[in-house]
């Protein structure tokens, strides 16, 4: 029985009368690559916010890395990593400065920062760019760097919000190689994406529609259940019926 | 604790790498200290005064000489007749006229007292009070000096008349000043922000790729703020007249026309600023620094311009608010007509045409 | 006459010390009524190219025409007749749907009624929300509104810069249906997108990367140009399969493609047998290996590797 790192039970978030996330329940195992899909407005972002300790649920229960999402949000934040397409690194700081900053925020010691930074830069083949301002880097490099920074402090879980948007196909796959490696090292990856082929790389996928999880299974099983040729097909079948298209 | 320090360090990086803001943060205090310290003062220095010497005797000459020699005053003109006094004030060149009664010395010798009239331009009541005080002191010194050698003391009584503003109401001075300030803020800053906003929200791209001519675009941005500014002028005038008891001694029509001219000047300043700022924040900051601050400090209603060092006096000539403030004071408080303010009007007109031409030429029809 | 011609366009940014070449000698033509796709990731130069063609930017080198008009000299005529939807949302957030549409119609000296037939199919989808402020619409609806505003004056050429980026998969599909519908009305459409699968919907595409065009052709021909065979491979442990295939001596390239990995061999003579044996040696279970058609993304990556 593998260790459960995320457990949600009837997790709900209401904004006035509007139920953004409606009693979702699921579990994620350690080292899993869990795809969290859904159309815009389906309630994905709201759900992720609750799991990251950024928003208090209206009702229901959830624990992340063993910590309660109501009372122990600070512990959650210390044990997770986060990266999104919209913001990852400070553009007017250098590569090195960004790494040092985030490592410092997570309380890493000077020696361990130095060690990890050298290893990270070598792995990404960016050792020569350590003093380059992030805004001068191509997008793909930024995203790979942001991911590596997000897991620098070896969190139990890393939350990725559409990390590969707009990135060229080669770099996209390099990014997923990094994700695979992280998962192989025991870091659970919770990722949302609009690329349906990336859904295939996940161990299991959940699809949210109108605030509810309409499907949760391995990609293979989902295709069988929905009689679909691809995850794209599965998604379209589910999302087409969606009533909510609010952003 | 380490978290705190690393965050502070990061913030410093951000600050130092933003050259524009850094310039303002470092330069602004220095500029302000220099301005306030050296230049901007309520003290009087070399203020122009005029003398109507009906006596032309030794005593009057002595007093005149002391006034001229003092660092506060500079005798600008010797007037000949009573009518000349009015003209002197109308041209706005003097703040004070000193009138000696005929047979001044004779009166002193035979009756032990004589009169000097100090007529001050009280449209700026603070400065008027200051100049009359200084003049009174100088006359008092002379009186004391004479009395040292005499048995029976003499008395020279200065009769003080505050012209235009006998009750020395501060509102007479600051209402024109506030008008200049408000119009610069609304007309200039808001127009520039409105144009730059289109750049920030990306609608500018779509507008450019359309048949809309740049001229029409600029006009449509300016007109709402011109109208609003006129409404503001009316509001300020109503409040000033009814609540603050400030009169409108001159032609209301002239006042509104000049205000419209100044509004156009302000709008063209806003257009200029919008041409080279990219974000609303930049436009606002620039408007405040380059428009509001000079209006306040060099406009002439908070600090008398003639007391500033020459370089600042020269600079104040390119501050449009200075000219508008003079016009409003002349028309509203002194009740003067167009024939007295045509020079200032011409200056504003020239500035407007120049700014409009330049900002129209510099209007970017492409993203750079 | 071509709807759009581009000749040796060069665009650079930056200071004299550090110049970045956003567009490096780009040339292509678009025929009237064509649905032409510019496919490439961020940084390829798509937005710079569109801005040059819509006369918003000046190129440092080369020439271009739209509807026969030069983008530099005749910019006014071009601005009167093209429709443009920039990358980021560019309508007035605090005006309603209807107010935005009316505004743009008037700016283009026309009215909503005049060309309603053109936008009807699209507008119908957002009409129930016509009193809502544009800022409160979902991503998909914003795109539909922006498209209507770009079409309202019946442009001869339509430039759409990444219209489907950041929009959910369902809206993306709907958007392309709308474009196909517009094509029937004879409007030339240039679309840029980072999504490779959208290339299949275009008449012709230009694959762009780092300021250069790697290939211009119909999607079918681009796939035909892919000279080698693609093997789709799958096993129980996909990640290990990927690393093992990459280590295999006869592998030219191996990339993950969702459910299968796409494998290209250096020497194709012996078919899949040796690969199958190798994988069995590596203890892979449930191995599936079969030939498959390359898609645009395969071609794109191969071209990227070549450059």
Cα separations (Å) of B348 from B268, B269, B323, B342, C156?
11, 12, 7, 10, 47
Task: Categorize the per-residue pLDDT at A244 as very low, low, confident or very high, splitting at 50, 70 and 90.
Answer: low
Question: Does the beta-carbon distance from A92 to B14 stay under 8 Å?
Answer: yes
Which residues in chain B are closer than 8 Å to C76, comparing Cβ atoms?
211
Nearest 5°: CA angle at B16, between B15 and B22? 75
Which one of C18, C42, C87, C237 makes the best mutation probe of the A interface by having the most chain A beta carbons within 10 Å? C42
Question: With the C-alpha atoms ordered C265, C267, C272, C273, is the resulting torsion angle positive or negative?
Answer: negative
* Average pLDDT of chain B to the nearest whole number: 89
- Percent of chain C at pLDDT > 90 equals 63
pLDDT of A245 over the 70 cut: no
Nearest neighbour of A239 by CB, restricted to C42, C43, C169:
C169
Which residues in chain C are closer than 8 Å to B202, comparing Cβ atoms?
86, 88-90
Nearest neighbour of C165 by CB, restricted to A166, A232, A235:
A166
pLDDT of B12 over the 80 cut: yes
3-class SS of residue C267 = coil
Give the best-scoring range by mean pLDDT among A148-162, A228-242, B290-304: A148-162
Nearest neighbour of A105 by CB, restricted to B6, B13, B18:
B6
Q: Are B45 and B71 in contact (CB under 8 A)?
A: yes
User: Roughly how many angstroms between the first and final C-alpha of chain B, as a whole number?
Assistant: 45
User: Roughly how many angstroms between the first and final C-alpha of chain C, as a whole number?
Assistant: 32
What is the average per-residue pLDDT within B232-240? Answer: 93
Question: Does the beta-carbon distance from A90 to B2 stay under 8 Å?
Answer: no
Beta bridge partners of C28: C6
**Is C11 in the B-facing interface, judged by CB distances under 8 Å?**
no
pLDDT for res A1: 62
pLDDT for res A71: 92
What is the average per-residue pLDDT within A233-241? Answer: 85
pLDDT of A204 over the 60 cut: yes
The C-alpha atoms of residue C123 and residue C104 are separated, in whole angstroms, by 14
What is the average per-residue pLDDT within B269-285? Answer: 90
Nearest neighbour of A104 by CB, restricted to B6, B17, B18:
B6
What is the average per-residue pLDDT within A227-238? Answer: 89
User: How many other C-beta atoms are found inside a 10 Å radius of the C-beta of residue A245?
Assistant: 20
**Residues B282-292 as b or e (16 or more Cβ within 10 Å = b):** bbbbbbeeebb
Q: Are A166 and A139 in contact (CB under 8 A)?
A: yes
Q: Could you tell me the domains of chain B? A: 47-163 (3.40.1710.10), 171-362 (no CATH)
Tokens linked to B72: 């506060």
Task: Categorize the per-residue pLDDT at A193 as very low, low, confident or very high, splitting at 50, 70 and 90.
Answer: confident
Task: Categorize the per-residue pLDDT at B146 as very low, low, confident or very high, splitting at 50, 70 and 90.
Answer: confident
Which chains reach chain B with 3 or more Cβ–Cβ distances below 8 angstroms? A, C
Spatial CA neighbour of C210 closest among C26, C23, C12: C23
Q: Please determine, looking at this structure, whether the domain spanning C226-306 carries the CATH number 3.30.70.
A: yes
Which one of C14, C259, C263, C286 makes the best mutation probe of the A interface by having the most chain A beta carbons within 10 Å? C259
Q: In CATH, what is the architecture of C4-224? A: 3-Layer(aba) Sandwich (3.40)
Which one of C15, C17, C41 makes the best mutation probe of the A interface by having the most chain A beta carbons within 10 Å? C41
Nearest neighbour of B13 by CB, restricted to A97, A104, A107:
A97
Q: Are B171 and B122 in contact (CB under 8 A)?
A: no
Size of interface B-C (CB pairs under 8 A): 53
Which residues in chain C are closer than 8 Å to B199, comparing Cβ atoms?
none
Q: Are C261 and C302 in contact (CB under 8 A)?
A: no
pLDDT of B139 over the 80 cut: yes
Q: Could you tell me the domains of chain A? A: 4-240 (3.40.50.300)
Task: Categorize the per-residue pLDDT at A247 as very low, low, confident or very high, splitting at 50, 70 and 90.
Answer: very low
pLDDT for res B186: 87
C217 burial type by CB count under 10 A (0-12 exposed, 13-18 middle, 19+ buried) = middle
pLDDT for res A243: 67
- Hey, what long-range contacts does A72-77 have (CB within 8 A, 24 or more apart)? A76/A51, A76/A52, A77/A52, A77/A53
pLDDT lower than 70: segments of chain C: none
Distance from CA of B203 to the nearest CA of A (A): 21
Nearest-by-CA chain A residue for C257: A197
* Average pLDDT of chain C to the nearest whole number: 91
pLDDT for res B15: 87
Q: Look-up: residue for tokens 């004056």?
A: C153
Q: What stretch(es) of chain C map to CATH 3.40.50.300?
A: 4-224
The C-alpha atoms of residue A222 and residue A205 are separated, in whole angstroms, by 9
Distance from CA of C113 to the nearest CA of B (A): 19
Tokens linked to C287: 């191995």
Question: Does the beta-carbon distance from A168 to C304 stay under 8 Å?
Answer: yes
3-class SS of residue B356 = helix
Question: Does the beta-carbon distance from C84 to B206 stay under 8 Å?
Answer: yes
The C-alpha atoms of residue C202 and residue C35 are separated, in whole angstroms, by 5
pLDDT tens sequence across B328-367: 999 998 888 898 899 999 999 999 999 999 998 999 898 8
pLDDT tens sequence across C122-169: 899 899 999 999 988 887 889 899 999 999 999 999 999 999 887 877
Which residues in chain C are closer than 8 Å to A236, comparing Cβ atoms?
169-170, 173
Which one of B204, B205, B207 makes the best mutation probe of the C interface by having the most chain C beta carbons within 10 Å? B205
Which residues in chain A are closer than 8 Å to C171, comparing Cβ atoms?
39-40, 245
pLDDT of B143 over the 80 cut: yes
Q: What letter would DSSP give residue A130?
A: T
pLDDT for res B342: 92
- Cβ-based neighbours of B174, under 8 Å, separated by 6 or more: B301
Largest CA distance in chain B: 92
pLDDT of A246 over the 80 cut: no
Spatial CA neighbour of B325 closest among B234, B249, B255, B276: B255
Tokens linked to C146: 């922006």
What is the average per-residue pLDDT within A18-32? Answer: 92
Which residues in chain B are closer than 8 Å to C57, comparing Cβ atoms?
366-368
- Cβ-based neighbours of B322, under 8 Å, separated by 6 or more: B298, B299, B300, B305, B316
Distance from CA of B24 to the nearest CA of A (A): 19
pLDDT of A160 over the 80 cut: yes
**C245 backbone dihedrals φ, ψ, rounded to 5°:** -65, -35
Which chains reach chain A with 3 or more Cβ–Cβ distances below 8 angstroms? B, C
Q: Are B256 and B344 in contact (CB under 8 A)?
A: no
The C-alpha atoms of residue C305 and residue C307 are separated, in whole angstroms, by 5
For C38, the enclosing helix (H) or strand (E) is strand C35-39
Nearest 5°: CA angle at C233, between C230 and C237? 150
3-class SS of residue A31 = coil
Tokens linked to B279: 């974000």
Which residues in chain C are closer than 8 Å to B208, comparing Cβ atoms?
56, 79
The C-alpha atoms of residue C262 and residue C291 are separated, in whole angstroms, by 9
Size of interface A-C (CB pairs under 8 A): 90
Which residues in chain C are closer than 8 Å to A32, comparing Cβ atoms?
none
Cα separations (Å) of B11 from A90, A99, B1, B6, C216?
11, 15, 16, 9, 47
Nearest 5°: CA angle at B258, between B254 and B264? 150
Cα separations (Å) of C36 from B171, C22, C25, C145, C159?
69, 20, 19, 22, 10
Which residues in chain A are closer than 8 Å to C165, comparing Cβ atoms?
165-166
Q: Are B154 and B119 in contact (CB under 8 A)?
A: no
Question: With the C-alpha atoms ordered A37, A41, A42, A46, is the resulting torsion angle positive or negative?
Answer: positive
3-class SS of residue B204 = helix
pLDDT for res B100: 92
């Amino acid at each position: 029985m593998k260790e459960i790192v995320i457990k949600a039970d009837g997790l709900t978030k209401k904004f006035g009368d509007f139920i953004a996330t409606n009693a979702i329940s699921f579990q994620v195992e350690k080292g899993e690559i869990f795809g969290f899909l859904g159309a815009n407005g389906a309630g994905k972002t709201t759900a992720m916010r609750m799991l990251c300790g950024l928003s208090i649920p209206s009702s229901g229960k959830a624990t992340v890395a063993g910590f309660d999402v109501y009372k122990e949000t600070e512990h959650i934040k210390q044990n997770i990593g986060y990266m999104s397409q919209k913001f990852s690194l400070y553009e007017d700081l250098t590569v090195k400065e960004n790494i040092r900053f985030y490592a410092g925020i997570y309380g890493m010691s000077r020696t361990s920062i130095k060690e990890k930074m050298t290893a990270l830069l070598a792995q990404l083949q960016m050792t020569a760019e350590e003093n380059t301002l992030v805004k001068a880097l191509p997008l793909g490099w930024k995203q790979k760097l942001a991911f590596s920074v997000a897991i620098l402090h070896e969190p139990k879980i890393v939350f990725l919000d559409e990390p590969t948007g707009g990135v060229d196909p080669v770099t996209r796959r390099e990014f997923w190689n990094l994700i695979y490696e992280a998962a192989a090292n025991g870091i659970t990856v919770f990722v949302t994406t609009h690329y349906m082929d990336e859904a295939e790389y996940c161990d299991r996928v959940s699809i949210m529609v109108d605030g509810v999880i309409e499907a949760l299974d391995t990609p293979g099983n989902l295709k069988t259940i929905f009689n679909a040729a691809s995850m794209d097909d599965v998604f379209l079948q589910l999302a087409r019926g969606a009533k909510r298209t609010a952003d | 604790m380490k978290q705190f320090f690393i965050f502070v360090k990061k913030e410093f990086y951000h600050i130092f790498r933003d050259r524009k803001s850094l310039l303002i943060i470092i330069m602004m205090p220095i500029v302000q200290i220099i301005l306030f310290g050296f230049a901007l003062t309520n003290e009087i220095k070399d203020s122009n005064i005029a003398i109507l010497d009906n006596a032309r005797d030794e005593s009057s000459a002595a007093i005149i000489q002391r006034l001229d020699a003092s660092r506060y005053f500079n005798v600008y003109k010797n007037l000949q007749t009573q009518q000349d006094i009015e003209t002197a004030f109308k041209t706005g060149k003097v703040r004070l006229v000193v009138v000696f009664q005929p047979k001044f010395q004779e009166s002193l010798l035979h009756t032990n007292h004589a009169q000097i009239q100090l007529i001050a331009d009280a449209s700026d009541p603070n400065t008027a009070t200051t100049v009359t005080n200084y003049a009174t002191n100088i006359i008092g010194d002379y009186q004391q000096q004479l009395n040292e050698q005499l048995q029976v003391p003499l008395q020279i009584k200065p009769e003080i008349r505050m012209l235009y503003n006998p009750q020395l109401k501060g509102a007479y001075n600051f209402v024109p000043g506030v008008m200049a300030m408000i119009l610069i803020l609304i007309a200039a800053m808001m127009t520039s922000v409105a144009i730059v906003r289109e750049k920030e929200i990306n609608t500018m791209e779509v507008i450019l790729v359309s048949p809309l001519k740049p001229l029409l675009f600029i006009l449509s941005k300016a007109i709402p703020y011109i109208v609003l500014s006129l409404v503001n002028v009316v509001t300020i005038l109503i409040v000033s007249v009814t609540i603050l008891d400030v009169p409108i001694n001159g032609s209301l029509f002239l006042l509104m026309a000049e205000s419209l001219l100044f509004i156009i000047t302000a709008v063209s300043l806003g257009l200029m600023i919008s041409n080279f700022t990219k974000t609303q924040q930049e436009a606002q900051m620039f408007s405040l620094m380059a428009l509001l601050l000079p209006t306040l400090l060099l406009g002439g209603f908070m600090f008398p311009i003639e007391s500033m060092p020459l370089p600042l006096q020269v600079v104040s000539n390119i501050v449009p608010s200075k000219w508008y403030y003079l016009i409003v004071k002349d028309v509203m408080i002194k009740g003067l007509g167009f024939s007295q303010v045509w020079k200032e009007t011409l200056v504003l007109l020239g500035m407007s045409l120049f700014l409009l031409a330049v900002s129209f030429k510099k209007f970017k029809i492409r993203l750079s | 006459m071509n709807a759009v011609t581009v000749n040796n366009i060069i665009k650079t940014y930056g200071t004299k010390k550090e110049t970045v070449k956003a567009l490096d000698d780009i040339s292509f033509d678009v025929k009237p009524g064509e649905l032409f796709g510019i496919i490439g990731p961020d940084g390829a130069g798509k937005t710079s190219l569109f801005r040059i063609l819509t006369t918003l930017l000046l190129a440092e080198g080369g020439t271009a025409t739209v509807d026969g008009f030069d983008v530099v000299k005749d910019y006014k005529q071009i601005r009167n007749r093209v429709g443009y939807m920039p990358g980021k949302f560019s309508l007035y957030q605090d005006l309603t749907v209807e107010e935005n549409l009316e505004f743009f119609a008037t700016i283009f000296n026309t009215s909503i009624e005049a060309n309603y037939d053109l936008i009807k199919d699209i507008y119908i989808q957002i009409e129930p929300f016509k009193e809502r402020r544009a800022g409160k619409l979902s991503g998909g609806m914003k795109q539909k509104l922006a498209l209507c505003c770009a079409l309202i004056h019946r442009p001869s050429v339509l430039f759409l810069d990444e219209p489907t980026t950041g929009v959910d998969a369902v809206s993306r599909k709907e958007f392309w249906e709308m474009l196909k519908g517009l094509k029937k009305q004879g409007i030339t459409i240039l679309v840029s997108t980072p999504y490779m699968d959208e290339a299949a919907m275009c008449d012709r595409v230009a694959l762009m990367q780092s300021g250069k065009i790697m290939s211009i052709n119909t999607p079918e021909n681009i796939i035909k140009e892919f000279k080698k065979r693609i093997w789709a491979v799958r096993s129980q442990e996909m990640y290990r399969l990927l690393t093992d295939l990459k280590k295999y001596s006869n592998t030219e390239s191996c990339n993950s493609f969702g459910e299968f990995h796409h494998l290209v061999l250096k020497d194709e003579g012996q078919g899949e047998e040796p690969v199958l044996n190798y994988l069995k040696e590596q203890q892979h279970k449930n191995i599936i290996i079969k030939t498959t058609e390359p898609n645009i993304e395969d071609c794109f990556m191969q071209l990227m590797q070549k450059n």
